[in-house]
Structure 1
Amino acid sequence: MAITDKFSSKQIFKFLPIVAIIIAGINAYYTVNEGHVGVIKRFGEAKDQQPPGLHFKIPFIETVEMIEVRTRKNAEKMASSTKEQMPVTIEVSVNWTVEKEAALDLFKRYGGLSQFEQRILDPRFRSATKDTIPQFEAEQLIQDRASAIQGIERRLTEEMAGFPVIVDNIQIENIILPAKYISSIEIKQTEKNLAAAEEHKLERQRFKAMQAVNTADAEAQSILKVAEADAQAILLKGRAEAQAIEAKAKALKNNPLIVKLTEAQAWDGKLPATMLGSGTMPIMDLRNSQEKGN
């Protein structure tokens, strides 16, 4: 039995180098995924950084720490107040990215991304937000988020100057105001809508009244133009008749025979019943009497 145990121990020690070589071979290479940088640590000390791909290291001596260099998002929900001292709860978020070339420096100074977020980024983000929100009134904050976002971004950029990261795309995700204020806003908006509706109604009435005035004015202008046209026609007709009479008078004056011609044209073919001579006694027409006697 002792011989068997001794043989087993010898066999184990015989294969130990082989196992060690296999383990060392497995630990001699590593891969860095896209969007990350590999920080090489030798006995815990950061020595170098490697880009994505397959790499080799000293087994059991060097280890690799992965640093993400893709865009990350941090979100914060914090209490603040508006310019009129109204309590408000703000939900904000920020995107930030580690500069690839500075990943090793960030690891050396802060120990990794989580440490950097907790100790550097988050406190400054909260400070920039709480310093900016009180500059706006509640209504302005609701209606003009862009200005508040620009203020937070400007302040945070100043706070993060000198750090190996890029911050951008700050968003105000939600604004939670007291229920009483929300109710007053709704009432105010309702009153604005009613006022706008009344103004629209008055505008339509003014438009209709203007239409009626324009229609009446157009009709009056039309009647006036017709009257002017009739008056002008009468005037022209009178002038034509006067000119005709004047021309006829001139013609009669210059040629007495025209009078005879006019009389002849107007004669109906019958002789006059009575004629006056040059004396005082009238000359009687006896033709009718004679005809009766016959």
Structure 2
Amino acid sequence: MNTTPSTADHSPLASAHRTFATEIQALQALDARLNGSFQKAVSMLLACQGRIVVTGIGKSGHIARKIAATLASTGTPAFFMHGAEAIHGDLGMLTGHDIVLALSYSGTAAELITVLSVVKRMGAQLISMTGNPQSELALSADLHLDAHVEHEACPLNLAPTASTTAALVLGDALAVACLEARGFSREDFARSHPGGALGRRLLTFVHDIMRRGDALPIVQANTPVAEALIEMSSKGMGMAIVLDDNHKPVGIFTDGDLRRLIARHGDIRPLSVAQGMSRNPKTIEPDALAVEAATQMDAGRLNQMLVVDDSGLLLGALHMHDLLAAKVI
């Protein structure tokens, strides 16, 4: 049953509903046609000894560029080669070990037909994605993927709309199938996206952002509170780290500890840090992920955390601002 809304209503909202309905129907039809050709295409991509070279021109070129980017970012080495630029020198990027994935809805783009002959001579494999299984590009390829749609969302049935959506989703399906077959993980994804939020979360370690050396506010248990306040103010961490003679932390003295000490004693001038410090401070190892430190600090409502080695020696410290600055949280 055709569920496409009537074209009698020309309001923007009705137009949007018609576009959605047309493109959804196109994707449902594409899903129903998936067969062994798709499985063979995935096997070819997985077995490729070179790279996947995705090419196209016009609107298909835009979709091809996105498919190449998705493949590359999900574990399948790929790059985009513009169909027009290919016949003017960019074919030099191609090797006989590569697979060319060529997109042309008509399957008759002159530039891609020219590319086809070179690909054949080089011995590279060709997968075509067209809307016309009887086109020259489809029939000449080693494997054809049918991306045909009955209607474009454009009311004139001219502007590439549903057809480009179908090609894009088919490309996404190839990338995801390869991703799953390779066992591509979140960590693998992060390594190819070091500048993204996930990359920062999975590739940033405590030792990358912790404060160390002279940047640490360090005192001893017998340090007068007044001196500890000077150290705290100069280092800007809202605390002082209390070390024993073996360079192991025995406590921290925070702004909160200071307020509680004043509330109890009033005059704090004769007091030492030991009389107000928080003992058994929360610690973490330097090789832990920074996001784990953030999780622990959030759970414990902490603004600071100490970094120690396996023997408990102080190596550094983290402040919540450090995590924010590194965009881990």
Higher strand share: 1
Whichever structure has more helix as a proportion of its residues is: 1
- TM-score normalised by the chain length of structure 1: 0.21
Q: TM-score, normalised to structure 2's length?
A: 0.19
**Structure with bigger gyration radius:** 1
